[in-house]
Structure 1
């Protein structure tokens, strides 16, 4: 699947400039990692994408990491991008790790924001799905009505406003039904063969996604050339909560010889 994308190239010597591929998480869109993209504009070609069933990319009844990573590679091939660096948050981090398995020879480096190569069992999104489906079933058109319905299920105004970024003309841009059906695939993970691509894991100090011994064991087994850094006092959305610290860690890792 060719994905919807935004591709900003360095205006001079763009053929020689590395490409950063930025991949958002569940319920997101290509603008979600914009605070990272802005830091590297002018030094790197920047490719931001909507993964399948999100943003303005096509909808599909299938959702798994092999398909999502293959979509990214198809889009890169369409743009004639061979070598690249990938940065992924949450679900986008798992897509990035799958890319390391599928295209090890094309990947220069990988940065994972608050995610492990691990099959999670806890459902963190049950209330979000209830809210999204309630809005969809109500067949309303106004943003105000959508907000009022969501407040019956969600207490965090920041989460509601984040989700509403994907509300357009009375419809969700993401494919709610497929995301709900294939949510076990999104939580899940098939252990990969050991990979030597240089990879940096950045963990939010307050986040549960990269916190247990089994999370770190999974990293050790699957990535032989990894680093782990912690951003203290940050949660799962660490790049939005602590952008300076996160961007410094990414910069140091990417620009190191």
Structure 2
């Protein structure tokens, strides 16, 4: 699949993958701080953003989408970074194509299995009748019945597009809902990536815990873990300066 991406900056290639319900635009503010040092590829994963939609949606196909992008761009090797679902995609890619990854950065996700915990978000998104919604404010008010956190709602509404026919989701909501179990799948056993790997965790997030450290070490023996202070799961939005500093330090 030919993924949509934004390319900017100059230097060694750094590919950035967003998380579930997100898009390449989630990392645009971070990219502005990094474009003087890297050629950045901000990618929309399949069924998200402006990339094509498909009934097939799992880490295996997302890994192959990424390989196709690298092949098309003539990238033999690149720095690779992903957040949450994008981090799982990046980890899976590094295990399958280790020779294509110079260094790996994983933002707030571990290799283990995660139980489905997005049901209230899915319920809220599915509750919106896009044929009736007249404004983003109205959409936000409807979502608030299911999702009390204003920051989460603002993040989700970035995927609400609008054209001449009205509002539409940029995410493939039916396929994501049907295959939501795919997002939490653990990495497959039997492989490891020996390249330098950085795990960035939000100190206020539960996604990476002390109990995950042995699992991380088994898949990524050449790793380090840095906890970003005063940050939750969306650490790049909550503490962008600290995240940029860690990226620069690790990739220097």
TM-score (norm 2): 0.93
Deviation, structure 1 residue 9 = 4.3
User: How many equivalent residue pairs?
Assistant: 246
Contact conserved, 1:200 with 1:226, CA < 8 A, in 2?
yes
Contact conserved, 2:92 with 2:187, CA < 8 A, in 1?
no
- Verify: 1:133 aligned to 2:126, yes or no: yes
Q: What are the Cα deviations for residues 59-104 of structure 1, in whole angstroms up to 9, with x where unaligned?
A: 1111111111111111111111221001111111001101101221
Q: Of the candidates 155, 160, 165, which is equivalent to residue 153 of structure 2?
A: 160
- Verify: 1:227 aligned to 2:224, yes or no: yes
Contact conserved, 1:191 with 1:222, CA < 8 A, in 2?
no
Q: 1:14 aligns to what?
A: none
Deviation, structure 1 residue 145 = 3.1
TM-align CA RMSD: 1.4
Q: Of the candidates 139, 146, 157, which is equivalent to residue 146 of structure 1?
A: 139
Q: For 1:164-243, list aligned pairs within 5 A.
A: 164-169=157-162, 170-192=167-189, 193-213=191-211, 215-243=212-240
Contact conserved, 2:198 with 2:250, CA < 8 A, in 1?
yes
Q: For 1:115-130, list aligned pairs within 5 A.
A: 115-121=109-115, 123-130=116-123
Q: What are the Cα deviations for residues 193-216 of structure 1, in whole angstroms up to 9, with x where unaligned?
A: 122021000111111000141x22
Contact conserved, 1:140 with 1:146, CA < 8 A, in 2?
no
Deviation, structure 1 residue 245 = 1.5
Q: 1:13 aligns to what?
A: none
Matches of 1:244 and 1:42, distance apart in 2: 15
Contact conserved, 1:21 with 1:86, CA < 8 A, in 2?
yes
- Verify: 1:47 aligned to 2:47, yes or no: no
Q: What are the Cα deviations for residues 157-215 of structure 1, in whole angstroms up to 9, with x where unaligned?
A: 111111111111211100011111111110112334122021000111111000141x2
- Verify: 1:2 aligned to 2:2, yes or no: yes
Partner secondary structure for residue 122 of structure 2: helix
In structure 1, list runs of 5 or more residues that go unmatched.
11-16
Matches of 2:176 and 2:102, distance apart in 1: 30
